[in-house]
Structure 1
Amino acid sequence: MDFARLTAKLPYLGWNQQQQSAWRDGLKTMSRSALAIFSWGVVTGLAMGKSVLSTEQALAMTLFVFAGSAQLAALPLIGAGFSVFTILITAFIVNLRFVIFSIGVQAHFSHLPAWRRAILGYFTADFGYLMYTSRFPEVQAVTERKKDSHYRTHFMYGLATGNWGIWQAGSILGILGASQIPDDWGMEFAGTLALIAVIVPMLDHRAARWAAIVAAIVAILTYSLPLKLNLTVAILAAIVVGVLADRSPKAMR
């Protein structure tokens, strides 16, 4: 009896069949991008494995930070002996896009307790956000949410589980295998190419395409800004252009 009560409180084991099906659906959806996520994780792991970090430090970084772009941005600063404040500010700026992601899905999960939203916030990354909003662009009504037993929430759990698991598998493999990879292999571009291959097909409407074009141009033109501020400027420009294009159906064709 005690064992049954314990399992009823555990993730997945304590869910009903509809919730378990939603989780598996999310996991299956995320698995379609497994190669890109795994490749990006391996490249990041290789960078950490070849940095000044020890193996233990690199493993801790991938498990607790879970932000590839921020990790790659922080590594040269750590190696150059920059202050902790500078490293944290740089990571914060690089990760500003997650604030945009949070705003985009906040209404979808506002019914959850704060601690669950915090956990989901940690596990939600680029792929999870894009896949969820593509699948469910509109916020679900309260009555519909109760009727389908929070299907969307558990679908997001599946996306997050798949993304985190695939990423960590690649990153840990890269960290442990870094010493076996010659520096002249040019692996630093593999993750970027993998991301491009996934993101380009998602630019399936005009507003998204204009936002991507403007973001690329602005990021290049402002590349000389310190602390990777060009990424922040590019994100803000993309948001403005995307909103304007979405609100003006006859403009920017």
Structure 2
Amino acid sequence: MNNKTRVFFKGIFDVSPLMIPVVPFGLIFGVLSIDIGFSPIETMGMSLIIFGGASQIILLQLFSGGASSLVIISSVGAVNSRHLLYGAVVSEHLSDLKLIWKIIISYFLIDQAFARSNEYLKKNKDKDRYFHLVGGGITCWVIWQSTTFLGIFLGAFIPEKLGLSFAVPLTFLALLVNDLRKFINIIVIIISGLVATFGFNYIPYKAYVIVAGITALIVAAILTNFKKNE
């Protein structure tokens, strides 16, 4: 087994534990999308093109709630803007790659793959280290697309009493475990969560996601600067 293959399978192995809550997450998306009125082709198209579980769920929630196109597009864009930060973080490790590889990797740079590969990239400096992100990203892609497909056709047979909606927050809680070790991160998480929770009922045009995200960025910037000046 050459080094590229070894690193590729290392990425698969490292990200696999985070795929457990993604399975019901994907099923939920497939079920909700069809229930709201999207066709199977449109549902799979969203997963193939957007390939972002959180933004896809938010799109469905806002669409079903009658939000305007502007609010839906801006909300999905705001949620997906975190990928710009992911790209900025990993870019220093991938600066020597060809453009085609950067494009491929950017497609697979989602939450779970970034969470695991960022740790690997910081600890390993060999030239083939980017295959870890490819392996982790492809694993996420296969799980998400296959569970979306299953959700489309098997949703009618999934009992509502199973309460699969728990998978959505559980997926992101798994990613936040390491962040809970830092006091500043905990404050940012709590404040943004409170803004989103209360804003759901009081912020017009279903824009609570945008407001919560902006609030989190402002609080994080203030606390970070305050800590540096101590």
TM-score (norm 2): 0.81
The answer for the alignment partner of 1:201 in structure 2 is 177
Distance 1:22 1:246, change over 3 A: farther
Instruction: Write the distance in 2 (CA, Å) between the matches of 1:234 and 1:81.
Output: 20
Structure that is richer in helix per residue: 2
Deviations 1:178-225 (A, max 9, x none): 22235x436452222422541342222233222212221232343333
Please, which of 5, 10, 26 is the counterpart of residue 41 of structure 1?
26
The answer for the alignment partner of 1:6 in structure 2 is none
1:176 deviation in Å?
Answer: 1.4
The answer for the alignment partner of 2:128 in structure 1 is 150
Structure 2 SS opposite 1:33: helix
Deviations 1:58-77 (A, max 9, x none): 22222222122222222355
Q: CA RMSD in A?
A: 3.0
Q: Which amino acid aligns with 2:127?
A: S
1:27 deviation in Å?
Answer: 0.5
Following superposition of structure 1 onto structure 2, how do residues 166-245 of structure 1 map, counting pairs within 5 Å? Answer: 166-182=143-159, 184-185=160-161, 187=163, 189-203=165-179, 204-223=181-200, 224-226=202-204, 228-245=206-223
8 Å CA contact 1:207, 1:243 repeated in 2: no
TM-score (norm 1): 0.75
1:47 deviation in Å?
Answer: 1.1
Instruction: Write the distance in 1 (CA, Å) between the matches of 2:114 and 2:164.
Output: 25
8 Å CA contact 1:38, 1:167 repeated in 2: yes
Please, which of 79, 99, 106 is the counterpart of residue 114 of structure 1?
99
Deviations 1:110-154 (A, max 9, x none): 32233322222221111112222334448x8xxx5xxx2332x11
The answer for the alignment partner of 1:163 in structure 2 is 140
8 Å CA contact 1:25, 1:155 repeated in 2: yes
1:234 deviation in Å?
Answer: 2.5
Distance 1:102 1:231, change over 3 A: farther
Instruction: Write the distance in 1 (CA, Å) between the matches of 2:26 and 2:12.
Output: 18
Unaligned stretches of 5+ in structure 2?
none
Instruction: Write the distance in 2 (CA, Å) between the matches of 1:226 and 1:109.
Output: 41
Instruction: Write the distance in 1 (CA, Å) between the matches of 2:33 and 2:103.
Output: 26
Distance 1:250 1:78, change over 3 A: closer
Instruction: Write the distance in 2 (CA, Å) between the matches of 1:82 and 1:200.
Output: 29
Distance 1:206 1:250, change over 3 A: farther
Distance 1:61 1:207, change over 3 A: same
1:22 deviation in Å?
Answer: 0.7
The answer for the alignment partner of 1:129 in structure 2 is 114
4+ residue runs of structure 1 moved beyond 6 angstroms?
80-83
1:155 deviation in Å?
Answer: 0.8
Instruction: Write the distance in 2 (CA, Å) between the matches of 1:127 and 1:185.
Output: 28
8 Å CA contact 1:123, 1:160 repeated in 2: yes
8 Å CA contact 2:9, 2:132 repeated in 1: yes
Query: Is 1:24 aligned to residue 2 of structure 2?
Result: no
8 Å CA contact 2:26, 2:151 repeated in 1: yes
Query: Is 1:91 aligned to residue 76 of structure 2?
Result: yes
Instruction: Write the distance in 2 (CA, Å) between the matches of 1:88 and 1:135.
Output: 33
Q: Which amino acid aligns with 2:88?
A: I
| Percent identity between the two aligned chains | 20
Q: Which amino acid aligns with 1:34?
A: M
Instruction: Write the distance in 2 (CA, Å) between the matches of 1:82 and 1:239.
Output: 24
Instruction: Write the distance in 2 (CA, Å) between the matches of 1:110 and 1:33.
Output: 27
